[in-house]
Every structure is written in C-alpha cells, then in structure tokens.
Amino acid sequence: MNCPECGALDNLCQTRFDEFLVLEFTDTGYGAVHHLTVATFMVQHSSKMTREGWLYERELLKEFLIENKPPQLVRKQMKDTVDSGKRKFKIKSRDGLPVINKTTWTKTILDVRTENAEVYCEDINAWARSVLEETQ
Ligand SMILES: [Zn+2]
C-alpha cells in the first residue's frame, strides 16, 4: 500500500524518515538540515497533527526557507509557543485525521539522495521548498 498522505511507495516514507533521523544525529553534515527534515515530513503527513500543530510546522518551514532564519533563532523565538506549559494548542493529533486532503506531491522523502552530506542537504532543501510551495 502506498502512503495515503505523501503517496510514497509501500509506505516507505516512515522507514526512510526514521533512518534519516539516525543519520542526522550521528553525522553533523547531515544534521545541518534536521530542522527541515522534521518540519517537512510533518507538513506532508498532517494526520499526525492537530490543525494548529500543522500550521505551526508550516510556519516553521516558512521562517527557515523564506525568511532564512537560522534554526537556533527560530527555536528561541518560538520557545514561548513550544514550551508545552505555555503552549495554548496541542500539536499531536488525537483523531488521526489528516488536516489537509492532499495526496499528490512533486517530491517526497523518497526523492532525497543520501550518498553524501552535500547532496543530502541539497535534496532536503528542494523537498522542503516544494512542500511549502504546494501547501500555499
Ligand atoms: Zn508518507
């Protein structure tokens, strides 16, 4: 079965995402785009989130890609919102229903090459940009 949300063959997206996280945590060259990997995957898999959570992740993508803010700065600015004690909304979905009804995308996580950190970062960026554009 293909992923009902991003359309990836045989639901390989989740496996790939888990592998990427390991890669990013073990190699700083790959880890440079960690913030993009997570936000992009979440925006493309909206059933994992509440509507507010989805909008929040998408806003993060915009800040990284359009406003070119460094991840550390964004994290600091968003700290009040993200701090679970202060946050006014839930990020994690409770009903598991997708926020957006989009199943066809130009790029998915399966389009990201992993041969070396350079192509990896380039492809994560391209994937993130296409997802942001297609959810405008
Ligand atoms: Zn998927």
Query: Which range (21-25, 61-65, 70-74, 95-99) has the least confidence?
Result: 70-74
Specify the higher pLDDT residue, 123 or 84. Answer: 123
Portion of the chain with pLDDT greater than 90, in percent: 78
CA distances 114 to 8, 44, 52, 77, 81, Å, are: 17, 20, 32, 31, 33
Q: Which residues surround ligand 1, an ion (CB under 5 A)?
A: 3, 5-6, 8, 13
Ligand 1 geometric centre to CA of 1 (Å) = 11
Whether the CB-CB separation of 103 and 71 falls below 8 Å is answered with no
